[in-house]
């Protein structure tokens, strides 16, 4: 069992203001994985004070971009060396299948490398007229103290997609981690300490929602970077607006996946296995609204039924498991209640259901579920379920498919399936979402990621993601 009885405040291990430890239990069988310190508002005050001092008077913002890049590259190497350990730990905490956590932590090396490449070519200071001694200089300077607030479903990815660009820009960071994944968050503190960041630059605080709100409202914080639900994102945006703080929000989604008439159905179904059910369906970009042409509707539903029924559900630490448990009992009940709602709304339950899988009653499991004959106005088609539940919606033609895809309060992800990629690109251009794939193509980490509408504000990844952490200053000489 892992025990962290201290918090990582300003780059040092410190006694928390309260001595009560969080119990971190496995969603698979509820066994005790470890215990971790939990931050209180008093700990937030200490962390923000350290970050403020480090930003206002410390060396980090005053280093050259290249000097900061060298420290962060060192961090990336140290993090990558612990991939297997970190993947196993996250699986034990939040129930993500081990194949998914291994893949995520392996991909993190490239995510960090992409940010480093962006930083190398970023225009930190530019002369608009470089030929003379006078003229206009445009500088990109760090925004200040950043509060990074992350969820439990992909904790290191959510943390580093914010912390790395903020640190590259010269900001100082207070990371507020989810209580469910407090252990891996504090391991992250070990890696930051070993990488050699100056005092005060990084703090890591597992904390509840009340303490999180205290952090984002703190007058010493200049910018909030949040990943989580749209409801919480609205609350954070309100608080940020009151204080005129910079804010970026990566929120929920209800991604539509359009299967065009010419699509290769076996390839589509194999792709949707990953696009829809990765991370147990607890993913903001999961393709959960499957739009199928009426001419092939029965064929699509039958093929998806076979795929869904073939998913192995069980112990997430087993390499052969594809779908593990939900993270908590309340999340399990939430997903099950949506399945029951779908039946009441009149959707056809093709496979799955709200009953717990046999033999897995000791954990927070949900059967992978497929609904057909779904109207896009139903709540199961409009609201984010955040679990292994798919709905299949028929469309008449491409115009109808695009209309249905865009008929959503969300606009985070989407997909198009076709044997003609150029035509798929034409359709994807018409989808009101920040992130679309054609045939589940890998986008890499250079292009920006984020949402339209209720799916958020701002972008992550690459140069655009780095730009979220700078202020632009113009100096006329």
Residue 205 sits at φ, ψ, to 5 deg, of -130, 105
What does DSSP say about strands 202-206 and 21-25: parallel, antiparallel, or unpaired? unpaired
SS3 51: helix
Please spell the DSSP secondary structure of 313-380, one letter per residue: BS-TTSTT-SB---SSHHHHHHHHHHHHHHHHHT-EEEE--SSPPTT-TTTT----EEEES--TTSHH
- Of 284, 384, 436, 460, the active-site residue reads 284
CA atoms within 13 A on the CB side of 322: 17
CA atoms within 13 A on the CB side of 371: 28
Please count the other Cβ atoms lying within 10 Å of the Cβ belonging to residue 74. Answer: 15
- Of 250, 282, 384, 460, the active-site residue reads 250
CA atoms within 13 A on the CB side of 405: 33
Separation CA 310–CA 337 (nearest Å): 23
Separation CA 162–CA 460 (nearest Å): 8
Residue written as token pair 């900061």:
68
Token pair, residue 180, equals 């469910």
**Residue 460 Cα distances to 102, 114, 115, 227, 301, angstroms:** 22, 11, 10, 11, 35
Find the length of the chain: 477
Separation CA 185–CA 156 (nearest Å): 7
Residue 250 bears catalytic tag: yes
Q: Could you tell me which of 178, 162, 202 has the C-alpha nearest to residue 39?
A: 178
Non-local (6+) Cβ contacts of 332 within 8 A are 325, 326, 364, 365, 366
Residue 20 bears catalytic tag: no
**Residue 315 Cα distances to 83, 151, 182, 458, angstroms:** 20, 22, 21, 36
Separation CA 425–CA 296 (nearest Å): 21
Positions marked active-site: 250, 284
């Amino acid at each position: 069992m892992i025990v962290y009885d201290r918090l990582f405040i300003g780059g040092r291990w410190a006694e928390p203001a309260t001595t009560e430890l969080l119990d971190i239990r496995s969603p698979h069988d509820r066994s005790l994985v470890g215990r971790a310190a939990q931050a209180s508002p008093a700990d937030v005050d200490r962390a923000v004070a350290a970050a403020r001092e480090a930003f206002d008077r410390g060396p980090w913002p005053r280093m050259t971009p290249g000097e900061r890049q060298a420290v962060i590259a060192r961090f990336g190497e140290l993090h990558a060396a612990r991939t297997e350990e970190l993947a196993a730990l996250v699986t034990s905490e939040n129930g993500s299948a081990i194949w998914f956590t291994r893949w995520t932590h392996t991909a993190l090396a490239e995510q960090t490398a992409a940010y480093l490449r962006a930083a190398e070519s970023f225009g930190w200071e530019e002369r608009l007229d470089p030929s003379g001694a006078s003229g206009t200089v445009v500088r990109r300077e760090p925004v200040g103290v950043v509060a990074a607030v992350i969820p439990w479903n992909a904790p290191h990815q959510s943390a580093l997609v914010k912390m790395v660009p903020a640190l590259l820009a010269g900001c100082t960071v207070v990371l507020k981690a989810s209580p469910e994944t407090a252990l891996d968050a504090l391991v992250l503190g070990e890696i930051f300490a070993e990488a050699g960041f100056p005092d005060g630059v990084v703090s890591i605080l597992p904390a509840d929602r009340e303490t999180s709100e205290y952090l984002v409202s703190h007058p010493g914080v200049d910018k909030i970077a949040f990943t989580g639900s749209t409801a919480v994102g609205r609350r954070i945006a309100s608080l940020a607006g009151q204080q005129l703080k910079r804010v970026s929000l990566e929120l929920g989604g209800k991604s539509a996946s359009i299967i065009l008439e010419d699509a290769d159905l076996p390839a589509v179904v194999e792709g949707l296995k990953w696009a829809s059910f990765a991370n147990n369906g607890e993913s903001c970009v999961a393709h959960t609204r499957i739009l199928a042409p009426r001419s092939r509707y029965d064929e699509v539903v039958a093929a998806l039924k076979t795929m869904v029924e073939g998913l192995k559900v069980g112990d997430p630490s087993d390499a052969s498991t594809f779908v593990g448990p939900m993270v908590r009992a309340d999340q399990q009940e939430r997903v099950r209640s949506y399945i029951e709602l779908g039946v009441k709304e009149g959707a056809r339950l093709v496979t799955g259901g709200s009953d717990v899988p046999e033999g897995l009653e000791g954990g927070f499991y949900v059967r992978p579920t497929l609904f057909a004959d779904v109207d896009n106005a139903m709540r199961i088609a409009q609201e984010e379920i955040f679990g292994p539940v798919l709905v299949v919606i028929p469309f008449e033609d491409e115009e109808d498919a695009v209309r249905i895809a865009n008929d959503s309060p969300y606009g985070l992800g989407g997909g198009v399936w076709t044997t003609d990629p150029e035509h798929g690109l034409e359709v994807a251009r018409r989808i009101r979402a920040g992130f679309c794939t054609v045939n589940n193509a890998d986008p890499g980490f250079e292009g920006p990621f984020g949402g339209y509408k209720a799916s958020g504000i701002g972008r992550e990844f690459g140069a655009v993601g780095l730009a979220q952490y700078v202020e632009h200053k113009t100096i006329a000489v």
